[in-house]
Structure 1
Amino acid sequence: MSQKAANAVPIFDVDNFDAGVDITEVAEDTYQCTSFANCTAFDTAEGLVMVDTGLAALSEHMAEALRAHTDSPVHTVIYTHGHVDHAYGLEPFLVDGQAPPTVIANEAMADRFDRYAQTKQYNEVINGRQFSADPEAADSHDLMDEGMFEWPEHPPTTWYSDDLTVTVGDTTFELHHARGETDDATWLYCPDRDVLCSGDLVTASAPNAGNPQKVQRYPWDWADALREMAALDPATLLPGHGQPAVDDPEAIERRLLGCADYLDTVVDRTLEALNDGAPPHVDIVRDIDLPEPEEPWLQSEYDCGEFIARNVIRYYGGWWTGRPSELKPARRDALAAEIADLVGDAETLATRAEALIEEGEGRLACHLADYALEAAPEDEAVQTAVANVYEERAAAAEDMMSANIFASAVLYANEGRSFR
């Protein structure tokens, strides 16, 4: 798959992800390095305390910009979670001859790094699909660095469980574990400077609590953590992605509590639907009245409410969809061939799929398109029709994940194969 996928959404086209670098002194001797993923540098009497280290592909630029403000060595590093854009970019921040820094993380991060190593090839495919719509683009994509699905070059040296207080020089840092987008998340409060570092528990768009290709997320615990943060009434909020919020405690409280309310609403309405007779899971999602917030920092640019609901169902409802035929299903290609025979041929299915997408029935069109391609993967007319369906679906998608997964389906269709 070498061609660029039609309607693919580059990650830098999403509002809260930016390839540029900006350094802001948000409090005395406290610098927010804003870029694709943010990091924070607290300058103390003993050296810098870094919260995250950014994406390796951009951290050299971040470090260079930061050094215009401080030449202090890095004393301590705190990883808010183990994602590649937060825990793999430390090296450029280190100064020549300095002692190795203390690196602190929640103990669950070790299992994350082990899991990455065990599923390296799988992660390359799904991240290529998620970020560029090309499952084979991982090695060449500018966000996908060699070694990203292994332990980082500078792994944690100090592990903590629930809470940890650290003092460096004259500055105290209070670390708290939470489950949200990840199970190894840390959020941090510096009471001496009234600064809250949320990691990816706060970004600039709707919480990434769904993500169809990734492991379990925890929106209920996420909401609890946001309320704990709000109770601190901080003067400065430094999110994992997006611009810092400074010197407006009321606005920060609205943002933290508004995000918590959004997550709680999705969870509560999903559980209510799940408890209503245990219907098939796909029907639950379609029937949930998902919130439609107006706030810019709760828009479905990257993830979406429907995916969050599915993650709730996965946690509470298991992997079975609830349909008897899908408990021990037939092979998809056998089912597709049978359906194609019933309607005449695969091209009839594909033609109907194209008609449905024109009628605005995108969800239904994709089912027929999949069956058509799986029944006759080498039929060029079918390939073209299916590619057309998914081009339209990608173009209409509001969130980046959906757009790029649909766009990757175009590449598969043009090659005469499905997601198998």
Structure 2
Amino acid sequence: MDENPASQWMSASPQDPLEAKFFWTGGPVEVAADTWFASLGSGVTAFDTRDGLVLVDTGTRLFAGEMADGLRARTDLPVHTAIYTHGHIDHAFGLDAFLVEGQAAPHVVAQERMAERFARYARSPRHNATVNSRQFGGRDDDPAFQGEELRFGYPTHEPTRYYQHSLELDVGGTAFELHACRGETDDHTWVYCPERRVLCTGDLIIWGVPNAGNPQKAQRYPWDWAKGLRAMAETGAATLCPGHGGPVVNDPRLVRRILQDTAAFLEEIVNRTLAVLEDGSPPHVDVVRRVKLPESAAPWLQPVYDEAEFIVRNVIRYYGGWWSGRPSELKPSPRADVAAELAALSGGPGALLVRAVELAPHDMPLACHLADYALEAAPDDPAIAEGVAALYTDRGARETSLMATNLYRSAAAGALKRLSSS
């Protein structure tokens, strides 16, 4: 194996645009004249102009150096302007790696809500570390996130210019159109370069079901997201550079189809969820069960990261508040007390676990409810902990989305952690 990991991805490019999936890494690929796209962890697009480079996104600190090395094999221009599509750490924290020695500080442009995002990160670093440990590491205390994430309140280069709705920039005679669009975040920007017909979507396109339902993160906005995608489709873009995955190069029909398909997918989820809410405002879990989820065979709408059911729940959260709709859950008894009572009625925590294991082959969701109660009723019982961990390990292996897989893996790890600490 090559000892230089950068050389393994720098020459990669999607052979077929439909193979440019979420986990694709590659680049720099020349996607238009004097324009390059690379993706390692997340996508970065570089535009060569007379005044220097314009970067749309900058990657994460962990991977930006390898992408910058690849880009510097193509151009030695300083970075004039960086545009952050949103404030997530895999898009707005890697700028240092792209700067050339001795260059002037670059301009950094972002939507105005990004300042509040960074302030929120600074106020809740341990919470952020834990939820990202679960989401990406499959446990509550993955050292990679507990160590790194705690430093990510603010990026090294904060925005120097904020805009509200839209902004036109001219850098070295090249025009860039910036448009705000609430979607995965409330501070999101999509960027279009009309001269080169290059569209940079950030995470509004990720080669998978849109991340509009993340179970642990802040509110998402699929209705506004869909509007933004339809606006992008009207630009006539020939090339699409996504937030994750590979680019679509010089194929305006495919670009338009991806944008319109994704918009329609989100609109269907929102409309179907609201229709059920309007039918008597049933308890939230019943809404989720009653919404018929849209399906698609398109490679850009597969549940590899997020999934449609989670988007339904995000719509409910926005329109329905925090209460589940179950009367007992308005001001509930402590879970441990409920678990102890159910265990007593069932013949003990062991009986709950035995029944959970029996149910698992044909009703895994119900099995997991019983497993939770068993563990909460007997948190120090090694046999219960091991049984629950095995159940959640099995459930995680059955899932397709990264989020569901890792959150169930985290549940398994948490059960065993109780065992090791007892």
For the superposition of Structure 1 and Structure 2, which TM-score range results when normalised by the shorter chain? over 0.9
Task: Report if the CA contact (8 A) 2:125-2:149 is conserved.
Answer: no
What are the equivalent positions in structure 2 for 1:104-115 lying under 5 Å apart? 104-115=109-120
The residue that corresponds to 2:366 in the other structure is 364
The residue that corresponds to 2:54 in the other structure is 49
Alignment partner of 2:201 out of 191, 198, 203: 198
In structure 2, C-alpha distance between the alignment counterparts of 1:188 and 1:221, rounded to whole Å: 16
- Runs of 4 or more consecutive aligned structure 1 residues displaced over 6 Å after TM superposition: none
- Indicate yes or no: 2:320 matched with 1:314: no
The residue that corresponds to 1:252 in the other structure is 255
Counterpart code for 1:379:
D
* Offset, 1:412: 1.5
Stretches of structure 1 lacking an aligned partner (at least 5 in a row): 1-13
In structure 2, C-alpha distance between the alignment counterparts of 1:334 and 1:415, rounded to whole Å: 22
The residue that corresponds to 1:299 in the other structure is 302
The residue that corresponds to 2:375 in the other structure is 373
Task: Report if the CA contact (8 A) 1:17-1:37 is conserved.
Answer: no
In structure 1, C-alpha distance between the alignment counterparts of 2:23 and 2:59, rounded to whole Å: 12
Measured against aligned partners, the alpha-carbon deviations of 1:322-359 in whole angstroms (never above 9, x if no partner) come to: 0000000000000000110111101100110111112x
The residue that corresponds to 2:389 in the other structure is 387
In structure 2, C-alpha distance between the alignment counterparts of 1:269 and 1:146, rounded to whole Å: 37
- Indicate yes or no: 2:96 matched with 1:91: yes
- Indicate yes or no: 2:144 matched with 1:140: yes
Alignment partner of 1:403 out of 398, 402, 405: 405
Task: Report if the CA contact (8 A) 1:21-1:61 is conserved.
Answer: no
Counterpart code for 2:73:
A
Alignment partner of 2:231 out of 228, 232, 252: 228
Task: Report if the CA contact (8 A) 1:55-1:89 is conserved.
Answer: yes
Counterpart code for 2:36:
Y
Measured against aligned partners, the alpha-carbon deviations of 1:381-415 in whole angstroms (never above 9, x if no partner) come to: 21122112111111111111111111111112123
**Compared CA separation, residues 61 and 144, structure 1 to 2 (3 A):** farther
Secondary structure at the counterpart of residue 145 of structure 1: helix
Counterpart code for 1:50:
L
What are the equivalent positions in structure 2 for 1:10-409 lying under 5 Å apart? 15-18=21-24, 20-137=25-142, 139-141=143-145, 145=148, 148-358=151-361, 360-409=362-411
Q: RMSD between aligned alpha carbons?
A: 1.4
Task: Report if the CA contact (8 A) 1:354-1:388 is conserved.
Answer: no
* Offset, 1:33: 1.6
Report % sequence identity.
53
Task: Report if the CA contact (8 A) 1:57-1:145 is conserved.
Answer: no
Measured against aligned partners, the alpha-carbon deviations of 1:186-235 in whole angstroms (never above 9, x if no partner) come to: 00111111111111101111100001000100000000000000011111
Measured against aligned partners, the alpha-carbon deviations of 1:146-166 in whole angstroms (never above 9, x if no partner) come to: 555311001000011101001
* Offset, 1:245: 0.7
**Compared CA separation, residues 124 and 217, structure 1 to 2 (3 A):** same
In structure 2, C-alpha distance between the alignment counterparts of 1:17 and 1:125, rounded to whole Å: 23
Secondary structure at the counterpart of residue 29 of structure 2: strand
Counterpart code for 2:144:
S
The residue that corresponds to 1:6 in the other structure is none
Task: Report if the CA contact (8 A) 1:56-1:145 is conserved.
Answer: no
In structure 2, C-alpha distance between the alignment counterparts of 1:59 and 1:324, rounded to whole Å: 50
The residue that corresponds to 1:9 in the other structure is none
The residue that corresponds to 1:8 in the other structure is none
In structure 2, C-alpha distance between the alignment counterparts of 1:38 and 1:27, rounded to whole Å: 16
* Offset, 1:144: 6.7
Counterpart code for 1:49:
V
Structure 1 or 2: more helix by fraction: 2
In structure 2, C-alpha distance between the alignment counterparts of 1:379 and 1:145, rounded to whole Å: 34
The count of corresponding residues between Structure 1 and Structure 2 is: 400
Counterpart code for 2:120:
R
The TM-score normalised by the length of structure 1 is 0.93
The TM-score normalised by the length of structure 2 is 0.93
